[in-house]
Amino acid sequence: MPDDVSPHSPARQSPANMPAPLISARPNAPLAGIAAVPGDKSISHRALMFGALAVGRTVITGLLEGEDVLATAAALRAMGAAIERAPDGSWRVDGVGVGGLAEPDNVLDLGNSGTSARLLLGILATHPFTSFVTGDESLRRRPMRRVTEPLSRFGAQFLCREGARLPLAVTGAANPVPIVYRLPVPSAQVKSAVLLAGLNTPGATSVVEPEPTRDHTERMLGHFGASVVVEPEPGGGRRITLTGQPELVAAPITVPGDPSSAAFPLVAALIVPGSEVTIANVGLNPSRTGLFTSLREMGADITYQNERIAGGEPVADLRVRAGALTSADIPPGRAPTMIDEYPILALAAACAHGRTVMRGLAELRVKESDRLAGIAEGLARCGVHVTVEGDDLLVEGDGGPPRGGALIATRLDHRIAMAFLVLGLAARDPVRIDDARPIATSFPDFVPLMTRLGAAFRAGT
């Protein structure tokens, strides 16, 4: 069996109960080429959900076909929406209309997808039937109270394990009442869950967020014909008000490349000397570009080319050139625009000169794993001086490549896995991750894409 990993390697075909370790080492030449990353995961989830709740056929182009999104598709099929992949690679969703979903015959298993779980609970909260929801080991550890609490105010009933964790049962409200909900902390998932519950609720449902978060839900509600009003709040927040029980009308969706996935080849190109890579068709929604802003503050050479609008979302091609990075102080207010990108930003900081401080990262503790702990532990194993002070992460870089040479526990977390594979491309000694299987949840073609750019991963033992 060859060492280099291909799309048909053990990393892609291992039995479900067998870990697939991978080793990443310095390539023989700079990274180069043009890459197209998978469709945006956040938009893909929402496109399927709104297509299922609309009247008519929605055609989705560029849908991410990772495990998380496929779990959303399967759950919606189980409730009566017709969803299929066309021969040309597009997806067709024949919707049932707002309030038209049916009670599923079986448990809804959402795998590793926290987005699927939280947003679908919003939909289920105002459908008058009982559903049972579960997920994999990682998802069953993640707290759901942040959505079950506001959704209960509509009249939904939840029967949960301690900490409102999956598996749980939800009985949707037969006569839901609209609410005004103030987010205690910024969260696009909680905001979206409340708005999705408000879709099948008469009257106006409002969410007040203390800081702007990802606005894909608001944009897509408008795209499908709902009445949504976004107003500024004193202090910089926003109030989003949805008029309930609209007739959503099927509309085509083009999903741009996911900026969270683009982050990995982008940072790889920055830290492997001499590299120049173009990443095509990346979504530049202002609520998602915190990583690019932060890297530019660190001196990264990132250029936006061919800027345009696609499916209501700003899009561009990103040209990235390797170069020296310096430290930065990343403010807590930027966290909502890059919460999934902190693992890879921390790896860039390890290759920068000086101390980079990333503030306000409490949300990282309740992602697919405790990412704050996972980042700190992995970097320390690779010889990087890193500390956690409360909810802040401090990474000391000396401007050169980190030592590397460590085995990294991925904790079933796709972003931890990909981040440390990227670090191995710059580290002095190869970096090994214990399991590459979680990568398929968001970026199933990560290994072949990076290989085409010049990376050389090999199967571990």
* CA pseudo-torsion sign 12, 13, 17, 18: negative
Q: Which candidate, 339, 420, 342, places its Cα nearest to that of 384? A: 420
CB atoms within 10 A of CB 153: 17
Q: In what order do the strands lie in the sheet with 276-283?
A: 32-36, 276-283, 313-321, 301-310
Amino acid at 232: P
Three-class secondary structure of residue 291 per DSSP: helix
Exposure string for 201-225, b = 16+ CB within 10 A, e = fewer: beeebbbbbbbbbbbbbbbbbebbe
Q: Which single residue is written with the structure tokens 């015959």?
A: 105
- List the Cα angle 186/311/43 in 5-degree steps: 40
User: Annotated catalytic, 340?
Assistant: yes
The catalytic position among 68, 340, 413, 435 is: 340
CB atoms within 10 A of CB 145: 13
Catalytic residues: 340
